Structure 1
């Protein structure tokens, strides 16, 4: 019970108050003279402690499951999308050779600009995926931003090598004009999306990007980017692989949501029990 109390927000807020010196530090006199509520009944204290302990165990187990699934997905991506003409691991029904395509044959770049303020929802491409973005970049108007739809590819030319390339799955929206936007042709968009973030492709992006003003920012050579070769199977095999990884991704998202719910529940209970 005491351990739970020490993690509670009210204890932190009081313990972190400055004692008046130039260097903020905990004032134990202030903490020791403050009043906190504890259950008078020992049994109640034990039950509260056991409840939070069980939640902690569930959270830890959920974290382990999530990591295992993420490792499984990474391993399967490396095996099924090994960028070989005849992958060692594949579905039994398929034997044909995968064909070479340059990205310029798969990506058709386009640029449709917004014509009025806040014409569509504002989106952002990150290394973690597409995200909603509130407000405006640097306070400027978003007229002239690029309009994208579901299934379009968005990439950042400055940090593409870190994995900032995404298939938009958030509906029609607008993104910064600094991004490059593409339609997928000659391939299944979902299949291509999973292939775009393999270790092999990240290495290729780095090779066609030149370091800029900072270590993180690298300027993309678009002509060289379009010459990167990827291997693509026939349409049926693309669909099969895309379906598999979509299912795995959905399972991972469900486990992530469950972990978030458990963490939120623990925080809520701590706040309510130690008001």
Structure 2
């Protein structure tokens, strides 16, 4: 390996020395966890219990394991592996494989690998990011090739080649990536809160079953809502198109539950046929309706796959969209035939009644409120995608 290949593509100013190449097992202690069996005999609620670290205790956001849902009796200690704050744990499943830093003492089962930097060769944040970098994951896959089970083990991880900078450079890299993680966590939480708020408002701004007014209502509106069949306020569009000048929308292009496109669909030249839709039409995924694939179109295009394309008649289209996103529509759309490939039944859903404000102004006010909420959700989703892409790029370029 040449000296130039021992340096990352992106580097902090002031660092020029090549990185040192070593096997990971020469630098850290790697041990497999263990499980006392039968485990149910060791689970305890007593105060003196030891934290029992399971995969479910790993945070969805962040890298520190700070608590466990269960504890085990101290009598199981000699049959498991104890970990301490500062130790790293790595799931031995190739489908998971994300490293975490322990913030508490505990014990790990045999689904974890312990990574302990006993010689303090690494900055812990740097080590954690390095173990999850694309270069390491690719090595794991290559070293495991030919194995009947694609799981990580002590020898496989120990034989992985790592290139290591000095401790000061490690600290800068670890701090940089941790700061990016904090930003990602911040925007993820904002996004999640907005999604929960939207779900709550959809439930409270529409009348409950058997009622004619919602719990939350905009000032100035007092009239009771009326019951209307969906087939009276919306028509199904069935006009097919293979126009290559129109963008295509497929199932996987829509973020479930939030009705947001997760990629740019404006790449033209496709020849897939589907249902032509116009701005203000609503796309609803009738296949597996529990997946909640819906979209309010603000452009003309072609819906490819098992979509209903609905167009409002006599009510505000943005309000119709909120009916489609609502709890009642969801429950009725999921009353469908078939178990493996269920599809919503239009003859049933279209003949069912839904609460609708009599005044078009109230419909528009509700629709506008949720549109603004959707814009905020989209904003945070895009920020999240940008930050995640930045991190992915840095992981590829800040490690060798």
Structure 1 residue ranges without an equivalent (≥5): none
What is residue 168 of structure 1 aligned with on the other side? 297
Equivalent-residue separation in structure 2 for 1:110 and 1:33 (angstroms)? 59
What is residue 107 of structure 1 aligned with on the other side? 234
Task: Say which of 231, 256, 263 aligns to 2:355.
Answer: 231
* Contact kept? 2:248, 2:301, Cα under 8 Å: yes
What is residue 164 of structure 2 aligned with on the other side? 38
* Contact kept? 2:144, 2:156, Cα under 8 Å: no
Aligned residue-pair number: 264
What is residue 196 of structure 1 aligned with on the other side? 324
Farther off after superposition, 259-268 or 238-247: 259-268
In the superposition, the TM-score normalised over structure 1's length comes to: 0.82
Equivalent-residue separation in structure 2 for 1:19 and 1:219 (angstroms)? 43
Higher normalized helix content (fraction of residues): 1
What is residue 102 of structure 2 aligned with on the other side? none
Q: CA deviation at 1:68?
A: 1.2
| Pair 58,175 (structure 1): closer, same or farther in 2 beyond 3 Å | closer
| Pair 274,88 (structure 1): closer, same or farther in 2 beyond 3 Å | same
* Contact kept? 1:130, 1:168, Cα under 8 Å: no
Task: Say which of 225, 237, 251 aligns to 1:98.
Answer: 225
Cα displacement string for residues 7-51 of structure 1 (whole angstroms, at most 9, x for unaligned residues): 1122222233237555556586676566533223x3222122111
Cα displacement string for residues 75-115 of structure 1 (whole angstroms, at most 9, x for unaligned residues): 1111112354222210111111212211111012333233x
What is residue 214 of structure 2 aligned with on the other side? 87
Classify the secondary structure of the residue corresponding to 2:375. Answer: helix
Equivalent-residue separation in structure 1 for 2:159 and 2:177 (angstroms)? 27
Farther off after superposition, 15-24 or 68-77: 15-24
What is residue 202 of structure 2 aligned with on the other side? 77
Classify the secondary structure of the residue corresponding to 2:334. Answer: helix
Farther off after superposition, 51-60 or 251-260: 51-60
| Cα-Cα RMSD | 3.1
Q: CA deviation at 1:224?
A: 2.4
What is residue 148 of structure 1 aligned with on the other side? 277
| Pair 204,127 (structure 1): closer, same or farther in 2 beyond 3 Å | farther
